[in-house]
Structure formats: C-alpha cells, structure tokens
C-alpha cells in the first residue's frame, strides 16, 4: 500500500449518491424513490423527519477515514444543496472545511451530472497539484470507473468508499482499495439488521457518543424549548461540564484513531507517534499539553482503560485495549 505518513489526499464526494444510497440501506430498497415527493413537500412532517434522522450520514466518519491516508489537501462535496435531504448537512460540512459544489437538477428526476463535474475537477486537480498521492472517491456509480482508472494511470492511489448493496462491482474493482461506508469506524448499522460484524461488537459506546451527528443535534436543538431550566446554573458547574465533555470527546478521538490504525495493521500495535498524527489529522486542535500532559505518552497512560501502552527502549507502541470480558 502507498505510504500514508506523507500522503497528500484529495477527497471527492458524490453527496447525493451516498445520502440516497444510505437512506435506501436503512429503510429498504427504493425507499427514497417512494418518499421523494413527501420529503420535497414537507421535510418537517413528523414521520418524514424521523426517517431522515434515522438515515443521517456520518460525514465525519468518511472524512476521518480519508485522513488516515495522509494530509487532506482538498475535500469537495457535489450536490444540490437546496434539496431538503442535503440542506441539513451544510453546516456540518463547512465545519469540516469541505468545499460545497452546487449542482442544479437538469431533469425532473434530479439527474444532476455530479459524475461529470466531479471527474472533470479531479483530473484537473491531478495535473494542477502534482504532489497528490491519493484520490478518495465517495460514490457508488459505475460511471466513476474511468475516473478511477485514469487516476491510477497517473500514479495516484485510488480509494473508494460506497454504501454496501449500492456500489457497482466494477467501481470496487477499479480502485486500489475500497471501503464500505457501513464498516467505517463509528458508523452504526441499520437497526433492522441482526448480525453485527465481530469488530463492531468490540466497539464501545464512547465513539458513537463522541461522534454524534451535528445534523441530529440540530434537529434536537430546534425541538428544545427556548428557555431551559439549567440557565441559572453557576459558572463553576458550567466549567466542570465543559471539561467533562471535552475529556469524553478526546477519548473518543483516541479510540477512533486506534481503530483506523488497526484496520491497516493486523498486528494491533501502532507507533504512538502515528496515532498522535492521525488524531491531529482528525482534529487539528488536539494538543496533549493543552490538556495538562507533559507528553503524548502521559496522555495515553491516562486513558489506560481504552488504550494499552508498551514502552521498550525508545519505542512506544499502543493498541486498543480488548474490551471483551
């Protein structure tokens, strides 16, 4: 596999494709086609709003996975952002420094030409940015096969991400590496599915909570009363809660970084420096010294309930602690 330590990554998301495919994955085949009119007419309808919340895409999981291949040089998402099913994601994407490319439906069935615009931009970027090492294509259409093949011919390592059951086999074969969105760290499978992969069973609740979708939070916040009972809490209590939330979030960040590393290394043990680098890729604001630790090793020791540290000489290795009883 290509070197990920100094990789420079470009990410292209056919956002309509991934969102609609996940909606069908959660609610059943062709569910979006059946619900399209109701979503367009009144997305705030109680039943439709509940179905949209159940099928929210964890954009952070996609971007974090892409960052495991190197530094994200650019990230673009292509969609009709005026569409109700996409509009709730705008703030979330902008917060992750994703460029939003507006596409307007060319026909009644919203064939927006995302594949053409995305492919043209990707090829232009490869010639304009000759230091790009990885291209991540988040889509499922076989229309992207020529793009994947061209990227490989131009010497780039091609990574595909798509929803299981909605991804063309030809696209999977055209990539150097392909990951199902369903299997990305932090992504929860639809409730209707009974079987859970062994790796997912070992994952704790901390990740789901620490990476809770901003889209869901926005819906919950809108439904909350304008005046809250805890507005009169004192400053000390407010500071304690903020610190507790921050501590919980950084633990979730560590867990996700370890998962991503162990997905690429079957031995389980990872160099602590590589784990820290991955954490900084996912959250550039991470700094163990700002958290009160003299070194990253001290930070890892403070999380001994989730991370196992081994120090031999100058080498420091870390792995996710086995949570099975």
132-182 pLDDT per residue, tens:
999 999 999 999 999 999 999 999 999 999 998 899 999 999 999 999 999
What SS3 state is found at 68? coil
Rounded to whole angstroms, the Cα distance separating 112 from 319 reads 44
Residue numbers in the chain where pLDDT is lower than 50: 1, 108-110, 194-241
How far, in whole angstroms, is CA 324 from its chain's centroid? 26
In the chain, which residues fall in CATH 3.40.50.1010? 8-191+203-219
**Range(s) within the chain of domains with CATH label 3.30.420.610:** 235-320
pLDDT digits (tens, 9 = 90+) for 28-52: 999 999 999 999 899 899 999 999 9
Closest among 249, 17, 233 to 111, alpha carbons compared: 17
151 phi and psi angles, rounded to 5 deg = -60, -40
pLDDT at 129: 95
Give the pLDDT score at 300.
94
Question: Which residues sit opposite 161 in a β-bridge?
Answer: 138, 179
What is the assigned CATH class of domain 235-320? alpha beta
Task: Check if the beta carbon of residue 175 is closer than 8 Å to that of residue 159.
Answer: yes
Give the pLDDT confidence score for residue 172 in this predicted structure.
Answer: 92
The pLDDT assigned to 233 comes to 43
pLDDT of residue 324: 55
Of 1.20.1370.20, 3.10.105.10, 3.30.70.1170, 3.40.50.1010, the CATH number of 8-191+203-219 is: 3.40.50.1010
Number of H helices, E strands in the chain: 15, 9
């Amino acid at each position: 596999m290509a070197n990920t330590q100094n990789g420079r990554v470009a990410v292209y998301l056919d956002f309509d494709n991934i969102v609609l495919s996940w909606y069908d994955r959660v609610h059943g085949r062709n569910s979006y086609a059946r619900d399209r009119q109701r979503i367009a007419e009144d997305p705030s309808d109680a039943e439709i709003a509940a179905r949209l919340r159940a099928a929210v895409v964890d954009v952070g999981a996609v971007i974090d996975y892409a960052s495991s291949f190197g530094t994200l040089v650019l990230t673009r998402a292509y969609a009709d952002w005026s569409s109700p099913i996409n509009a709730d994601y705008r703030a979330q994407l902008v917060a992750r420094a994703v460029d939003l490319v507006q596409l307007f439906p060319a026909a009644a069935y919203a064939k927006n030409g995302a594949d053409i615009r995305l492919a043209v931009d990707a090829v232009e970027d490869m010639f304009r940015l000759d230091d790009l090492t990885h291209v991540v294509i988040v889509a499922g259409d076989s229309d992207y096969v020529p793009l994947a093949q061209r990227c490989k011919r131009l010497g780039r390592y091609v990574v595909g991400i798509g929803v299981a059951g909605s991804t063309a086999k030809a696209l999977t074969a055209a990539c150097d590496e392909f990951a199902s969105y369903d299997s990305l760290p932090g992504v929860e499978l639809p409730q209707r599915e009974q079987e859970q992969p062994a790796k997912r069973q070992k994952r704790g609740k901390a990740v789901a909570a620490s990476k809770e979708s901003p889209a869901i939070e926005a819906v919950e916040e809108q439904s909350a009363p304008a005046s809250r009972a805890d507005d009169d809490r004192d400053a000390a209590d407010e500071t304690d809660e903020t610190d507790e939330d921050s501590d919980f979030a950084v633990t979730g960040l560590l867990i996700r970084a370890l998962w991503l590393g162990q997905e690429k290394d079957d031995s389980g043990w990872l160099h602590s420096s590589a784990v820290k680098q991955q954490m900084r890729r996912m959250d550039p604001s991470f700094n163990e010294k700002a958290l009160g630790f003299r070194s990253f090793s001290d930070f890892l020791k403070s999380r001994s309930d989730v991370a196992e540290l081994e120090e031999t000489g100058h080498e420091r290795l870390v792995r996710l602690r086995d949570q099975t009883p």
